[in-house]
Amino acid sequence: MISTLLVVQILLTIFIVIAILLQKSSSIGLGAYSGSNESMFGAKGPAGFLSKATFALALLFVLNTLAMGYLYNQEKAHSVADTINTATSVPTTDINTSTK
């Protein structure tokens, strides 16, 4: 389960970076490479859509991070040392045997 959430986390990170880079800034950024999006997103362009998408992706990123942290702590609550059988692991010597 944690490995699935880790893959989702990586994908969310990539999508957040793309959504942020596509937003219009004072120097246009990568939004210049996206072409004419005004007909697809409405008269205001993609600014409103990208800001809402960035917020939604960031919220999913935070929730996924919290879920990963919770599941990781639940999985790691038990130590490997708890499974060691000490009765057979420690060599025993007979104290009553005397060497004279």
Higher-confidence residue: 29 or 16?
16
The overall pTM is greater than 0.85: no
- Residues 60, 15: contact at Cβ < 8 Å? no
Q: What is the pLDDT of residues 26-78, one digit of tens each?
A: 555 555 555 544 455 555 566 688 888 899 999 999 999 999 999 888 877 77
How far is it, in rounded angstroms, from Cα 35 to Cα 30? 10
Q: Return the amino acid letter for 39.
A: S
Q: Is residue 10 scored above 80 in pLDDT?
A: yes
Smallest CA-to-CA distance from 34 within 16, 42, 26, 46 is with: 46
Ramachandran angles phi, psi of 79, nearest 5°: -90, 155
Q: Is residue 25 scored above 60 in pLDDT?
A: yes
